[in-house]
Amino acid sequence: MTSMASRRAAELRSAELKKDLGRHNELYYLGKPEISDREFDRLMHELQALELEYPELATIDSPTRRVGGAPSEGFEQVAHDPPMLSLDNTYNLEEVEDWVDRLERLAADEELSYVTELKLDGVSISLLYKGGVLQQAITRGNGTVGDDVTENVRTIRGLPLRLKGAPPERLMLRGEIYMPRTVFDELNRQREAAGMALYVNPRNTTAGTVRLLDSREVARRGLEVAVYQSATAFGPATHADTLGALQDHGLPVKSVWQRCADVAAVEAYIEHWREHRHELPFDTDGVVIKVDRLDLHTRLGRTSKAPRWAVAYKFEAEQAQTVVRAISVQVGRTGVLTPVAELEPIFVGGTTVQRATLHNYEDLARKDIREGDTVLVEKGGDIIPKVVSVLLDHRAADSQPFEIPSTCPVCGDPVVRYEGEVAWRCVNPACPAIVRESVGHFVSRNAMDIEGLGDKLIEQLLAKDLIKDYTSLYQLKEEDLAGLEGWGKKSAVNLIAEIGKSKHRTLAHVLHAIGIRFVGERVARLLAEHFGSLESLMKADNATLEDIPEIGPKVAASLRQFFDDKRHQQRLEALRDAGVNLTQPRAEAASVEHPLHGKKVVLTGTLTGMTRSEAKKRLEALGARVSGSVSSNTDLVVAGEKAGSKLKKAEDLGVEVTDEAGLVALLG
């Protein structure tokens, strides 16, 4: 009896805490907190304790879900329904007026009004609520398929896990995840204090954060989200009323949107934010203009990639004048030498710019940028600084062109340029710069996926001479790590375990990780599945390699050059000695008798019995080549539900089309 009473008391207290925490969370983001952070944490800890004792109380809308959970193994890919379209861009007011003129012709008998919104510079996200509870969050991906990042998005405190009022049973929303400038600046201050490389900009940092496998780290990053569209019709007749209704349900909608009666009001909105955008606490790269009436959205329709009822106006990149103090040279993972302009600090595009990449020596020579030059600097897309041009009137009389170094600025070895390439590169695998970058690539998620080995630790290990290259990682011991600054026994044990786990990755992972030129994830998988072992691959000559579909002379030559180098041979032998798996199950040979063998197939629309990825694998197993675009060389188009422009193009070109049932029959 007492147990039942305790259970009932816990249930009541849990419900009360969830309600209070939800309310205080909302007040915090409205800038009207009623309790201290310490008191908020105390309430959260009380709820966590109740859920630990009574696990059934830990519902998916519990505020405790915001603190993140154990690291995940990866992200499942999910199809968007409907697809997440991109927007057509305009770059000046004349193009905006042209867009309005086209709309007025398409809807000649209607009076048009618009809604203008700031275009946040972050990561697009699709949010699904069922019964008012957040069920799923999917990245934009390619617009058709994205990654399921629900656990990470649940940690964003400004996003309600349960909606207010009486929302529709199913509500599909579009939004943008972003990182406020103050949060980004503080994150970089912490990294600088820890001796870590600084993040480049909030957008890239947001994109990386959303895809972290550890949602607990995501929870610490201070991301925010703004909802800007409903993909579900649920009552309102206009987009403006929809935004208001979404706000009433507790969803974060940026208050800077505006209803505009005509194009003059649209242009006034653009002009205002062009001038004042840097006063905002977040980054914006333009304005989105939408037709207000939702019934006209259906009537105006869409092109193959974008709706006709909306368009983006992109702010022009800001420019400023400064001086090139020096031209330095960076050495990347593949040995490519990249010239970088070291600039007199200049404020442009809302930030202070001190460096700008010059891309390559051909671009440097074409622009004839020299040390001491006065240059015009632009933030391309308001993100990446670049030198636009040299102001020759300011050039000193004794100025000299920048000379391409004949040796690597890091290791001193001669640099080379391969035929047909513009890049100069260091080809010394032992070059410290190449080693540092190659170790970072080796441990990355799509390579050997060694969690916990970040840039700072790699720098420490190299500086302390604990590793010489990526093969040395497998010789590390717990005591090596425990003695490093900021490392204790537990973290050392965890990392050694992660390194041990990586020994069981496939040969495809290893081939991608070791950094062979022109060998990315797909080529690595093709090679691994074809040869089955590293030993067999290393014995293959150019002709044998070129017989493999998608392996041309350039890739074959790069493979042979890599495997013939004694230094690379020694590293691969070290991986073998460390117990790293260097084999992979061979792909079953496709029967040349099968009607799909050698055929070019395009998949479009949504498949119900299998994912597009599964269909692609099965087609490739039968010898088909799966392409992403339809052309006169396409042999077959498989059209699933809601097939779009690819189906129409196939019909126009007279390409054979089948449906999912036909595909299943062909696959047998």
Q: Using an 8 Å Cβ cutoff, are 378 and 370 in contact?
A: no
Which residues have a catalytic role annotated?
A: 119
- Report CA Rg, the chain: 28
Decide: helix, strand or coil at residue 96: helix
DSSP, collapsed to helix, strand or coil, labels residue 171 as strand
Q: Which two tokens stand for residue 417?
A: 């340029």
Calculate mean pLDDT across residues 612-625. 78
User: Is 217 or 623 the better-scoring residue by pLDDT?
Assistant: 217
Structure tokens that stand for 625 in this block: 């080549």
The closest alpha carbon to 476, from 213, 485, 464, belongs to: 464
Mean pLDDT of the chain: 87
Structure confidence by residue, pLDDT tens digits, 13-67: 888 888 888 787 777 655 577 777 677 778 877 888 888 788 888 887 787 776 6
Instruction: Specify burial of residue 46 (Cβ count, 10 A radius: 0-12, 13-18, 19+).
Output: middle
pLDDT for position 382: 47
Whether the CB-CB separation of 166 and 155 falls below 8 Å is answered with no
Is the model's pLDDT at 427 over the cut of 80?
yes
d(CA 454, CA 280): 32
Backbone angles phi, psi at 507, to 5 degrees: -60, -35
Q: Percentage of the chain with pLDDT > 70?
A: 94
- pLDDT above 70 (res 561): yes
Residue 194: per-residue pLDDT: 64
Q: Are 434 and 326 in contact (CB under 8 A)?
A: no
**145 pLDDT tier (thresholds 50, 70, 90):** confident
Q: What is the pLDDT of residue 1?
A: 41
Res. 568: pLDDT tops 90: yes
Q: Angle CA(435)–CA(440)–CA(442) in degrees, nearest 5?
A: 90
pLDDT(590) > 50? no
- Domains along the chain? 2-58 (1.10.287.610), 89-314 (3.30.470.30), 319-394 (2.40.50.140), 432-502 (1.10.150.20), 507-577 (1.10.150.20), 600-667 (3.40.50.10190)
Is 176's pLDDT higher than 90? yes
Q: Is 368 left (phi over 0), alpha (psi -120 to 50) or beta?
A: left
* Whole-angstrom distance, CA of residue 52 vs CA of residue 586: 46
Query: Which position has the higher pLDDT, 617 or 369?
Result: 369
Structure tokens at 302: 């869409």
Query: What is the average per-residue pLDDT within 414-418?
Result: 92
Largest CA distance in the chain: 95
- Order of all β-strands in the sheet with 224-230: 133-139, 123-130, 170-178, 224-230
Contact between 466 and 451 (Cβ < 8 Å): no
pLDDT at residue 402 is higher than 90: yes
The whole-number pLDDT of residue 593 equals 62
Query: Which residue from 348, 401, 345 is spatially nearest to 373, judged by alpha carbons?
Result: 401
The tens digit of pLDDT for each residue in 450-462 reads 988 888 889 889 9
What amino acid is encoded at 643 in this protein?
A
